[in-house]
Amino acid sequence: MTETESQVLLILFGGIFFAILMTLFVVGVVLIHRQRQAKNRQKIAQLQAEFEKTILNVENEIQQETLAQVGRELHDNIGQLLSLTKLNLNSSKPEKQQEAKGYVNQVIKEVRALSKTLNLDWVESLSLDEFITQQLERVQATGFCETSLQSDQSFAELKKEEKLVLIRVIQESLNNAIKHAEPNHIQVRIHRQGPSRILEIADDGLGFDSSQKSSGSGMHNLHKRMETIGGKCSVSSSPGEGTSIRIELPV
């Protein structure tokens, strides 16, 4: 075999070897890509399942909150109106019986209003600002503390899922302030900041050391819920300086 033929065979075998290496490389890349796709699909499915579970939990909790509110209204408001109606109907005075009719009409209005809250249709018909206003008015009506709302209506347009999560986060934040903070004033502020919408719930109550890891699951739940709709939640507090909860959601 001549030197030229040896060089040709060497080049030929080298080419074949390179082609085999390239084929193995391409096959390896394809396999890795498919594995990554499978992992991504699995991750997306897990995130979707977690999102649906979170929304379902939120819906259930809001329904429970609504039922508790209905129970309080039946006991404290409608029950009292019916008792007054009974007392006035038992009276022989015409003006008392007329007053009883007025109570009956009021009870009918109250029952109709309560019936509307037994499902979640109100979530779509009520804006977030209107919901917050109702919650703050309810707190202030008890004489517990003063409340205020400042809003540029940045949260006027929301998907139902986003509104559900925000409603529950707001409820939890206000309940925490009522249970633990002993504030004189609770303020809610809504505004736009760059590409984000910001909702801040601040009180001037007892506060706590937010640098210490909490043993409860409350803040963890707030964080996880906001993550499911692409938002963030942070808390700032110190003893004697009140507490501020900042909720951030991209536009």
What is the per-residue pLDDT across 171-190, written as a single tens digit (0 to 9) for each? 889 988 988 889 999 999 99
Three-state secondary structure call for residue 243: strand
Residue 2 DSSP class: -
194: left (phi over 0), alpha (psi -120 to 50) or beta: left
Q: What is the pLDDT of residues 47-92, one digit of tens each?
A: 777 777 777 787 778 777 777 777 877 877 788 888 888 888 888 8
Question: If residue 49 lies in a helix (H) or strand (E), which one and from where to where?
Answer: helix 3-72
Please provide the average confidence, as pLDDT, over all residues in the chain. 85
Q: What burial class does residue 60 get, using C-beta atoms within 10 Å of its C-beta: 0-12 exposed, 13-18 middle, 19+ buried?
A: exposed
Domains and CATH numbers, the chain: 125-251 (3.30.565.10)
How many CA atoms lie within 13 Å of 209's alpha carbon, on the beta-carbon side?
4
Question: Could you tell me the sign of the dihedral formed by the alpha carbons of 192, 194, 199, 200, in that order?
Answer: negative
Over the range 21-35, which residues count as b (16 or more CB within 10 Å of their CB) and which as e? eeeeeeeeeeeeeee
Three-state secondary structure call for residue 204: coil
Cβ neighbours of residue 128 closer than 8 Å, sequence gap 6 or more: 155, 156, 158, 163, 166, 167, 190
Q: Which range has the worst mean pLDDT, 71-75, 197-201, 222-226, 227-231?
A: 71-75
Range 16-32 average pLDDT: 86
Range 208-229 average pLDDT: 79
How far is the C-alpha of 242 from the C-alpha of 234, rounded, in Å? 14
Range 219-241 average pLDDT: 89
Range 98-106 average pLDDT: 86
Residue of 69, 177, 70, 188 whose CA lies nearest to 129: 188
Q: Give the pLDDT score at 119.
A: 65
Q: Which range has the worst mean pLDDT, 6-15, 146-155, 190-199?
A: 6-15
Q: Which range has the worst mean pLDDT, 73-77, 114-118, 247-251?
A: 114-118
Q: Give the pLDDT score at 1.
A: 59
Range 103-113 average pLDDT: 84
* Residue 149 pLDDT exceeds 90: yes
Q: Give the pLDDT score at 184.
A: 95
How far is the C-alpha of 251 from the C-alpha of 197, rounded, in Å? 6
Residue 213 DSSP class: P
Q: Give the pLDDT score at 37.
A: 87
Q: What is the pLDDT of residues 198-217, one digit of tens each?
A: 999 999 999 998 877 765 56
Q: Give the pLDDT score at 215.
A: 57
